[in-house]
Amino acid sequence: MTKITVAKGDGIGPEIMDATLDIILAAGAQIEIEEIEVGEKVYLAGNTAGIAKESWDIIRRNKVFLKAPITTPQGGGYKSLNVTTRKFLGLYSNVRPCMSLHPFVKTKHPHMDVVIVRENEEDLYAGIEHQQTDEVVQCLKLISRPGCEKIVRYAFEYARQYDRKKVTCFTKDNIMKQTDGLFHQVFDEIAVEYPDIENEHWIIDIGAAKMADTPEAFDVIVMPNLYGDVLSDVAAQIAGSVGLAGSANIGESCAMFEAIHGSAPRRAGQNMANPSGLLQGAIMMLNHLGQTEVAEKVQNAWLRTIEDGIHTYDIYKEGVSKQKVGTKEFAAAVIANLGQQPQQLTAVSYAKGKPLQLPRYQRKKPAKKELMGIDLFVHWPGTNPDQLANLMKELEVEEVKLKMITNRGIKVWPEGFEETFCTDHWRCRYQSQQGKFIKHDTITLLINAMKHEIDVVKTENLYAFDGKPAFSLGQGQ
């Protein structure tokens, strides 16, 4: 018997959670439930995180959290509980299976069976943003080697565990050569360790177009946070309905399982909501706990119920569906089908009692790190790069010279184009003529900037690791 934490959430949350628990308990799930309150009531009681400290303690103690959708009040500085939970508990892997249920649920892609594995903690979702000038704000995209290794390895281990044949990586490393480049590099390194699984890489734009057009060409897709957030919803929708999709958030010690849809407060208390999304999350939870026979029984009963045409209002269609039912009635139909197999849809068979296990990340030996220069980001209201270059040359220190100025990543000095539009945010690169640059040079440059009343809003050191420069050039270099 495993104790799990349950939150019934807001809106339709209590109804679909009750239905989900009824089904998995009827199937023989060996769980003990410890319920907590999260969401709208907690927010409105003055807790901007939507969860009390005691509830955190319960989640951390039980390790497994089944959560219904919640409502985050508008305004007032309220934080997203989903994002907070993922980050605080180190839930680095977001897993969303997206399978079509043709011909019982309408879709243009009858053979779609894709699993999106999304990195969950970093990328632009680090949420580090600053306004630096009147015209420019920045958001830092953080990609780490541990983050890449953990999510990529999870994708391959998931593929092996569930007998998937191929793992595809989506990035935009033709443009973001350092950040997305690292993700792609790590993917290639780890793929070698799984010779039994096919691997491939697509640039995100054409990969997304291909997935939307021909999803049957993919099996497991792994990608950084932002791309995964967008494409997992796209994949769920083109499979048939976002309302049918569940989600697993997996960390090294804790895990959270949920539906991907919202709390739908307009449908609350009407016995109308489809519990399928949360039920899919619960099935992933049972697999995570090693209760694979129960998970298999529930999934096959759910598939049989869909086949039988017993549908809630959101997927009901005249001529296909046979009976429109409410939340409770749908749950009762699934329970009645426990032990049954689907006849047209493909029955599932999970590896018996084998929860997916991953090795912990092992930090590698540090590379040799050398300082090669510095970028000074400057707030300057002018528009002529040559004029700015003359000002910035006044800052030069002996062998440390101004090498380049860019604006929004485009090189505008030397040899810039008059047609290039420039904002008030400029990157000015300084490097030594002799190839040696010390941190004291940075201090001298900043002191000289103060003397000349130049507004430096940010500095960024330029490093080489094991002799390889690890910074971007300006476009046009």
pLDDT of 474: 67
In this prediction, residue 298 has a pLDDT band, given cuts at 50, 70 and 90, of very high
pLDDT of 239: 92
C-alpha distances (whole Å) from 140 to each of 124, 129, 214, 244, 422 are 6, 6, 33, 34, 21
**Strand 220-223 versus strand 166-171 pairing type:** parallel
Does residue 269 register a pLDDT over 70?
A: yes
Q: Sign of torsion, CA 108 114 115 118?
A: negative
Does residue 428 register a pLDDT over 90?
A: yes
Q: Which is more confident, 293 or 364?
A: 293
Does residue 157 register a pLDDT over 90?
A: yes
pLDDT of 475: 66
Q: 179: number of CA atoms within 13 Å, CB side?
A: 14
Does residue 435 register a pLDDT over 90?
A: no
Q: What is the largest CA-CA distance in the chain?
A: 83
Does residue 217 register a pLDDT over 80?
A: yes
pLDDT of 143: 97
Within 10 Å of residue 372's Cβ, how many Cβ atoms? 16
pLDDT of 388: 97
Tell whether omega for the bond before 414 is within 30 degrees of 0, i.e. cis.
yes
Q: Which is more confident, 195 or 45?
A: 195
Does residue 305 register a pLDDT over 90?
A: yes
Rounded-to-integer distance, Cα 274 and Cα 258, Å = 14
Cα-trace Rg, the chain: 26
pLDDT of 361: 84
Q: Which residues pair with 425 in a beta bridge?
A: 379
Q: Is 333 helix (H, G, I), strand (E, B) or coil?
A: helix
Does residue 168 register a pLDDT over 90?
A: yes
Does residue 40 register a pLDDT over 90?
A: no
Does residue 11 register a pLDDT over 80?
A: yes
pLDDT of 477: 55
Rounded-to-integer distance, Cα 403 and Cα 212, Å = 44
Is 263:10 a contact under the CB 8 Å cutoff? Answer: yes
Q: Which residues pair with 260 in a beta bridge?
A: none
pLDDT of 295: 97
Does residue 476 register a pLDDT over 80?
A: no
pLDDT of 398: 86
- Written as one letter, the residue type at 196 is D
Rounded-to-integer distance, Cα 383 and Cα 398, Å = 28
Taking only the tens place, the pLDDT of each residue in 365-418 is: 999 999 999 999 999 999 999 999 999 999 999 889 999 999 999 999 999 999
Cα angle 363-368-373, degrees, rounded to a multiple of 5: 120
Taking only the tens place, the pLDDT of each residue in 223-247 is: 999 999 999 999 999 998 888 999 9
Taking only the tens place, the pLDDT of each residue in 249-263 is: 999 999 999 998 989
**Strand 468-469 versus strand 255-259 pairing type:** unpaired
In the chain, % of residues over pLDDT 70: 99
